[in-house]
Amino acid sequence: MSKLSRSSHALVTGGGRGIGRAVAAALTEAGAVVTILGRNRATLDEAVAAGAAQFAEVADVADQASVKSAIAAAARRQPIDILVANAGAAESAPFGRSDAALFQRMMDVNFMGVVHAMQAVLPAMVERRQGRVVAIASTAGLKGYAYVSAYSAAKHAVIGLVRSLALETAKCGVTVNAVCPGFTETDLLEGSIDNIMKKTGRSREQAIAELSKHNPQGQLVTPQEVADAVLWLCGDGAAAITGQAIAVAGGEV
């Protein structure tokens, strides 16, 4: 198992469930002090009580002011060494029925949510000349999928942001990377499964098979597999890895 620098402080957005919670738990197990950030206090508190993190802050990543305030509160406890910008949302619709409001929602959460978190932590990281920033993007940021043009566009934007910031911070002791999961066993995916079942009349097993067919291994990715990739990027051994978009998708990309 990867080990982190002693008592590193990691902040994970969307850390109360799914991939974010798995990442928080992996970082905690590796020795980090972990603060999770999300919108639902009860969900966050349950994750802390279960040992996935030590602290929690409530904020909506789409709201820059609340993110800035929450991260400032976390940083007052201890400077933030690791940011995992995980919070996200997915909506599906044919492009012809994807209005401006849908595109705005997807950009606000999936892209600007990452921007807000990065802007809140990067100045201090650069000043201290140390830090790890990992954005949880998606294979949708590396390729296209039908009926999720807004979501895919937002995730492509995240990867462009990562590549640009990696160049800006390359000499500052800070690395910036993206991890791009394929279809992963999360609450978010449950919504996609339900959507397929309602629209096509398929069974749950058939809906899962429709999603997992994209993965050459023929299975869904687990949150722990994503967390393991994040943990490696946050460790000392990945100091030379920056500006990368690493797919965790069974060979799909």
- Encode pLDDT of 155-198 as tens digits: 999 999 999 999 999 999 999 999 999 989 887 777 777 777 88
Q: Which CATH class is domain 9-248?
A: alpha beta
Q: 86-95, 96-105, 209-218, 232-241: which has the minimum mean pLDDT?
A: 209-218
Nearest CA to 155 out of 214, 101, 201, 88 is that of 88
Chain centroid, CA 218 distance in Å: 23
Query: Between residues 16 and 192, which one has the greater pLDDT?
Result: 16
Domain boundaries, the chain: 9-248
> Average of pLDDT values for 57-64?
98
Active site residue 147: no
* Contact between 52 and 25 (Cβ < 8 Å): yes
Sorted by sequence, the CB contacts under 8 Å of residue 247 that are 6+ apart come out as 139, 142, 180, 181, 182, 253
pLDDT at res. 207 = 79
Q: Is the pLDDT of residue 143 over 60?
A: yes
Residue 202 is predicted with a pLDDT of 86
* pTM, 2 dp: 0.93
- Asked whether the beta carbons of 245 and 237 are under 8 A apart, the reply is no
For the segment 59-85, the average pLDDT, to the nearest whole number, is 98
Q: From residue 3, how far is each of 179, 224, 234, 245 by CA, in Å?
A: 19, 16, 9, 22
The active-site residue out of 2, 130, 151, 174 is: 151
Average pLDDT, the chain: 94
